[in-house]
Chain A
Amino acid sequence: MIWNESKECMSRDEMMHLQSTRLVKQVKNVYHSVEHYRKKMQAVGLEPGDIRGIEDIDKLPFTTKDDLRDTYPCGLFAVPRSEVVRIHASSGTTGKATVVGYTRRDIENWEECVARILTMANIGSSDTVQVSYGYGLFTGGLGAHYGAEFLGATVVPLSTGNTKKQLTMMRDLGVTAICCTPSYLMYLAEAIEEQGILNDLVLKSAICGAEPWTENMRREIERRLHIDAHDIYGLSEVMGPGVAGDCKFHTGLHINEDHFFAEIVSPETLQGIPDGETGELVFTTLTKEALPLIRYRTKDLTSITHEKCECGRTTARLSRFKGRSDDMLIIRGVNVFPSQVEAALLDISEVSPNYLMIVDRVDNLDTLEVQVEVDERFFSDEIKELENLTKKITHVLQQALLIVPKVKLVEPRTLQRSEGKAVRVIDKRKLV
């Protein structure tokens, strides 16, 4: 089934026409409502009238996470606060969060985008959907929740954690679909096997996102749980989950193109590159009211195709994500930058800012170990003091990263110095 055939199955011409109309309107809007955008356009001698259609999009300057940081918290908002009905936030590169906002209309569009993708995963109003993404500032929980509710499904808002309860609810309520990170679903699959309750479940599909995963992992989940697993993509800056998702043919993620215009550019030259070639994904939000983004560089590497899918949808599709063009790590669905660890450690006088992050996946859950050098000047020979120091570092990092790392004290000078290309991160997760 297709949720909104009139949009998802438009001819390419109709889609481009719609995108053109919406882009022209959006550019005018941001030029007049957001000083930061106006200045950026003026800096390159651009006026709203110069953008006459989607073919002119490459005249517009790019927007990056730096623009959001420089205008923290709400400097890129295009509407007065009275029209903003919701705020979400994700962790930023310097410990400052990236704050995003939504108008009532934005929330409605978001709900529909998620509903379209749940429909791709064969979920409908008679389904019971368990949302096991985190609820709160993170867009995952509430994004999936509102989309599933909009669809008319019965939503069970479990959020993350408490695996035992998750499984009890899944079984007792006859949950037919689950939204969570792929690594958490792998973890649940193991718990289900251990308890031997697979035959008591009626689960048929999963919609997984918020962290990178592979086709092999998808098949593994399907095999172990006897379900169909689907990929959902999104980022809070652009909207949250629901920007794109894959249908039952699993030949790429359909972009909700009437709302989000995607370009693939070379991360080096920033020039557009042809369909099928890998580059950095750039989004322009065509309908977003509260926080419109013009040519936002996602730093995610992927490729695009505009060919019609076997499912009947004509929307452009993104291939599986091939990595990042920056050093951002996604750990348990949370964006983590090594620079955040460095900044946090600089605030603790008892340790040196030399660190090594070791990311791994143990029992299908991401783990983060941060090795920190003991500073000789503050070295205590009492173990309780060192344990207190470990706790303090853990706490400070947890505040900065929003996930709890395992902190390990190491001897000074055992970690590589920052001259040359210091190894700051070892990612042992195997995503193949």
Chain B
Amino acid sequence: MRMNQISVFIENKEGNLLTVSKILKDNNIDIRTLSLADTSEYGMLRMIVSDEELAKKVLKEAGFPVSITPVIAVRTNNKVGYMHDLLEKIPAEIANIEYMYTLPSEEGSILILKVANPDKVEAVLGN
């Protein structure tokens, strides 16, 4: 399944993450899951939220560079080896995974994948 992820560029400076979380709270936006990638100078906050269009609008207004990126979501069954079995299905020539994180849910985790060829990858994963 396809999901829209919102990515926010955050400079490494005091209180910056707090500003983002406050904006989301004030607008009643729920963060389903997030991943924060860091470099020495800035962070990339990637989130699956309840309303990505609203989140984009309000964060943009606050001056944060924001983009909405389509990602692939794959449900797992919390069994040992499941991720490996899943990744193995993807042929090497299209297996260009940019990043990956998980979204917890009651029926088992959901893997969030950013790939270079989302259509092809979705086709082989068959969901």
Chain B 52-77 residues near chain A, CB threshold 8 A: 60, 63-67, 69
Q: A374-B65, A376-B65, A381-B46 are in contact. Are A411 and B11 (CB under 8 A)?
A: yes
Count of interface residues, chain A, beta-carbon cutoff 8 Å: 17
Answer whether residue A382 sits at the interface, using C-beta atoms and an 8 A cutoff.
yes
Instruction: Determine whether the beta carbon of A380 is less than 8 Å from that of B11.
Output: no
Which of A380, A382, A412, A413 has the most chain B CB within a 10 Å cutoff?
A382
Which of A383, A408, A412, A413 touches B44 (beta carbons < 8 Å)?
A: A383
Which of B41, B63, B66, B114 touches A413 (beta carbons < 8 Å)?
A: B63
Q: What chain A residues lie within 8 Å of B41 (beta carbons)? A: 408-409
A-B pair number, CB within 8 angstroms: 46
Instruction: Determine whether the beta carbon of B65 is less than 8 Å from that of A412.
Output: yes
| Closest residue of A by beta carbon distance from B40 | A408
Instruction: Determine whether the beta carbon of A411 is less than 8 Å from that of B98.
Output: no
Q: Complex: how many Å from CA A387 to CA B40?
A: 11
Instruction: Determine whether the beta carbon of A412 is less than 8 Å from that of B63.
Output: yes
Q: What chain B residues lie within 8 Å of A409 (beta carbons)? A: 9, 41-42
Distance in Å: Cβ of A415 to nearest Cβ of chain B: 11
Instruction: Determine whether the beta carbon of A381 is less than 8 Å from that of B7.
Output: yes
Q: What chain B residues lie within 8 Å of A384 (beta carbons)? A: 98
Answer whether residue A414 sits at the interface, using C-beta atoms and an 8 A cutoff.
yes
Report B26-65 CB contacts with A as 1/0, cut-off 8 Å: 0000000000010101101010000000000000100111
Instruction: Determine whether the beta carbon of A380 is less than 8 Å from that of B37.
Output: no
Q: What chain A residues lie within 8 Å of B10 (beta carbons)? A: 411
Distance in Å: Cβ of B125 to nearest Cβ of chain A: 21
Instruction: Determine whether the beta carbon of A379 is less than 8 Å from that of B67.
Output: yes
Distance in Å: Cβ of A377 to nearest Cβ of chain B: 9
- Can you list 14 A-B contacts with CB-CB less than 8 angstroms, sorted by A residue number? A376-B60, A379-B67, A381-B5, A381-B7, A381-B9, A381-B44, A381-B46, A381-B67, A383-B44, A409-B41, A411-B9, A411-B64, A412-B63, A413-B63
Given contacts A374-B65, A409-B41, A412-B63, 12 further A-B contacts (CB under 8 A): A379-B65, A379-B67, A380-B67, A381-B44, A381-B46, A381-B67, A382-B99, A383-B37, A384-B98, A411-B11, A411-B63, A414-B63
- B residues near A (Cβ < 8 Å) are 5, 7, 9-11, 37, 39, 41-42, 44, 46, 60, 63-67, 69, 98-99, 114
